[in-house]
A and B are shown apart, each in its own frame.
Chain A
Amino acid sequence: ETGVTQTPRHLVMGMTNKKSLKCEQHLGHNAMYWYKQSAKKPLELMFVYSLEERVENNSVPSRFSPECPNSSHLFLHLHTLQPEDSALYLCASSQEISGFGVTDTQYFGPGTRLTVL
């Protein structure tokens, strides 16, 4: 596997289900991100992990719960979602150089298309 992979690619779930999205990066990066992409809206940053610590959480509802067990893996646990949570969920990774304010390029996975019924 190369780059950033995401599973599943498509997910349909009811509002009472619990499911998890998985992301894995094979680039040796130290930062990982979850984004939500909805039609007609800018890409929304949900969570950022740097060196396995959450450094940013953009007021995301608690029904979304991230987990970063190591620098290569990122999960997004979903429970009691709403239909408006239907979207494309994208994972990305980058190599951040802390202390220098330098950003490196974010590389994205193919996304999980989530539909909440």
Chain B
Amino acid sequence: AQKVTQAQTEISVVEKEDVTLDCVYETRDTTYYLFWYKQPPSGELVFLIRRNSFDEQNEISGRYSWNFQKSTSSFNFTITASQVVDSAVYFCALSEEGAGNNRKLIWGLGTSLAVNP
């Protein structure tokens, strides 16, 4: 079975703090994809990043960075110098083989991040 665990249910930080959101996954696939999405209070899930299992390079995009560690099956997300606008629920997801070669996503339960001024 494939599973995605986001152990942190809620995190609260003060603006300008760095914060790391953890994601641990389980899979038997050799080729898989990992994703992070952001869900602000408006409800829309906003795509942040996709990483395939063969690319373990860390990624940085502005204040966001991702640390993919295949050895520990983790794909953690760090926000540097957090801002109030970062307040949202963040979801980690893993793709798995579905019907007809269409992969589907397995979702974590999400981490609710509150950034306070």
Contact = CB atoms under 8 A, between A and B. Distances in A.
B50 interface: yes
Interface of B: 31, 33, 35, 37, 42-47, 50, 91, 95, 97-109
A31 B35 contact: no
Interface residues of A, number: 28
17 contacts: A40-B109, A42-B109, A45-B104, A48-B104, A50-B100, A50-B102, A100-B101, A101-B31, A101-B97, A101-B101, A103-B102, A105-B47, A106-B47, A107-B47, A108-B46, A111-B43, A113-B43
Given A96-B101, A101-B103, 15 more contacts: A31-B102, A42-B106, A43-B91, A45-B104, A48-B99, A55-B99, A55-B102, A96-B102, A102-B103, A103-B103, A108-B46, A108-B47, A109-B44, A110-B42, A110-B44
A112 B50 CA distance: 25
Most chain B beta-carbon neighbours within 10 Å: one of A42, A111, A113: A42
A110 B98 CA distance: 25
A96 to B, nearest CB: 5
Interface string A18-48: 0000000000000100000000111101001
Contacts, number: 65
A110 B42 CA distance: 7
Nearest to A9: B43
Interface of A: 31, 40-43, 45, 48, 50, 55-56, 88, 90, 92, 96, 98-103, 105-111, 113
B107 A43 contact: yes
